[in-house]
Amino acid sequence: MSIIKSKTLLYRNFGDPQKVLELTEVEVSTTPGDGEVLVEWLASPINPLDINRIMGQYIIKGDPPIIGGSEGIGRVVKTGPNSKFHINDHVTIFSSETPFWTEFGIVSDDELQKIDNRISIDLAATIMVNPPTAWLMIHKYVKLSKGDFIIQNSANSGVGRSCIEIAKAAGFKTINIVRNRENIEELKTELWKLGADHVFTEEEFAKGAREFIKTLPSRPKLALNGVGGRSVLQISSVLERGGMCITYGGMSKKAHEFSTSALVFNDITVKGIAVGMWARLPESQKDWAECLEEVQKLAVSGEITAIPMEKTSLDDYRKAFGKAMGQGRSVKQLFVIKNEAAGNAKI
């Protein structure tokens, strides 16, 4: 049985990622067993979740040493007996505790999800959480017709951008709320280019919402919330009677607020979604399979695109974490672990 050295970013203690992370090498067998494959990891982002996990602040802690990563894309380089995968298949693992920040790994078929090879590596590395969250919220809660309005806060986030694209692909209109910032006009233009119909800062919307909503042919039926606090009060209060507000995050770390009269007199429903938990329930399997198929179709057709990310390498992890954890807004960091075009000399 031959062994290869796999460059790996791992941590042996919980704490500040820049201090506890360690770039090292682990040994990986190049002989996958029955129903297993050898995967070469291509790319994996640094998500906020990764930082929480490394700091020991996530619900599931795990036992160090732990190889980092929560999302990513790889390529099958060797298949074991009876594996259903083929060499060069693009694959990912749908789990928040998965060792992506390493060059190679042996993974069993059961854990792997095939991803269409035509999808760019950037998008494929971030396709299992944000776009499905957006797709499910838009397609599985409220029956919308073409031309119906969706309102969302956090429109600039990964999920927010996916919502803009997925709504546009389905013929729904989006009203997008973002926080004010220096380059606000640039951001608005960027979101318009993605397909946003209306973009407002929180302050603009607070001032002009009433008048603006009156100009619409119908009020929004769906509100999508990644922020909480007053921001969700703002978007849920303009919903159509019987409308739905779905929460997928609470970035403001404030309690989610809803107006009593929207609930009582306007009959809105408030729900939440955590795709990582939902997708593992037996009763979700049919919808989850449909969601992954539809999201990949949209990715292949170019109707959903990768969010802006800065490419980096495992070697530069300190710098990458410095940016990922830095003050102010920084672009998401993506570890490019292997440049696929370069081929593989090691095996």
Partner 1 sequence: MFKSFSTVTIARRCISARQLVYEGYGNPPEAIQLKTIEIPDKLNSEQVLVKWIAAPINPADLNQIQGVYPVKPKLPAVGGNEGFGRVEQIGSGVKGLKVGDFVIPNKSGLGTWRELGVHGENDVFPIDNELPLEYAAVFQVNPPTAYRMLKDFIDLKPGDTVIQNGANSAVGKQVIQICRILGVKTVNVVRNRENLSDLVAELTKLGATDVITEEDLYGRKKKFKGVKLALNCVGGRSSLFLASVLDHGGSMVTYGGMSKQPVQSPTGPLIFKDISLRGFWMSRWYDIQKTPQKRLEMYSDLAKWMKSGEMAKQDFVEKSINQHSAALDEAQTKFDKKQLFVLG
Q: Which residues are catalytic?
A: 58
Is the N-terminal amide bond of 65 cis, ω within 30° of 0? Answer: yes
Rg (CA), the chain: 21
Measured from the CB of residue 209, what is the shortest distance to partner 1 in angstroms?
16
Q: How far is the CB of 92 from partner 1 (least distance, A)?
A: 22
- Minimum Å gap between C-beta 278 and partner 1 is 8
Whole-angstrom CA distances from 277 to 90, 141, 167, 272 are: 24, 17, 24, 11
Q: What tokens does 117 get?
A: 């090879």
Element (H, E) at 270: strand 269-272
Nearer to partner 1, 17 or 228 (CB): 228
Q: How far is the CB of 317 from partner 1 (least distance, A)?
A: 29
For the beta carbon of residue 282, count every other beta carbon within 10 angstroms: 6
Closest approach of Cβ 146 to partner 1, in Å?
27
The identity of residue 218, as a single letter, is S
The candidate with the shortest Cα–Cα distance to 36, out of 95, 3, 88, 77, is 77
Query: Looking at beta carbons only, is 260 or 327 nearer to partner 1?
Result: 260
Minimum CB distance to partner 1, residue 7 (Å)? 35
Minimum CB distance to partner 1 smaller for 144 or for 268: 268
Least Cβ distance, residue 261 to partner 1 (angstroms):
8
For residue 52, give the nearest of 8, 80, 103, 16 by alpha carbon. Answer: 16
Interaction site with partner 1 (CB under 8 A): 228, 233, 247-250, 255-274, 277-278
Our CB check for partner 1 shows the closer of 59 and 341 to be 59
Nearer to partner 1 (CB atom), residue 59 or residue 342: 59
3-state secondary structure 202-235: HHHHHHHHHHHHHCCCCCCCEEEECCEHHHHHHH
Dihedrals φ, ψ of 209, to 5°? -55, -50
What is the C-alpha separation between 40 and 235, in angstroms, rounded? Answer: 43
The enclosing H or E element of 165 equals helix 158-170
Tokens representing residue 327 in the block: 């003050």
Closest CB to partner 1 among residues 83, 130 = 130
Q: What is the DSSP letter of 240?
A: P
How is residue 326 written in tokens? 């830095």
- Site of tokens 């602040």: 57
Q: Tell me the two tokens of residue 20.
A: 């506890």
Q: How many CB atoms lie within 10 A of CB 279?
A: 20
Task: Pick the closer one to partner 1 by CB: 106 or 270.
Answer: 270
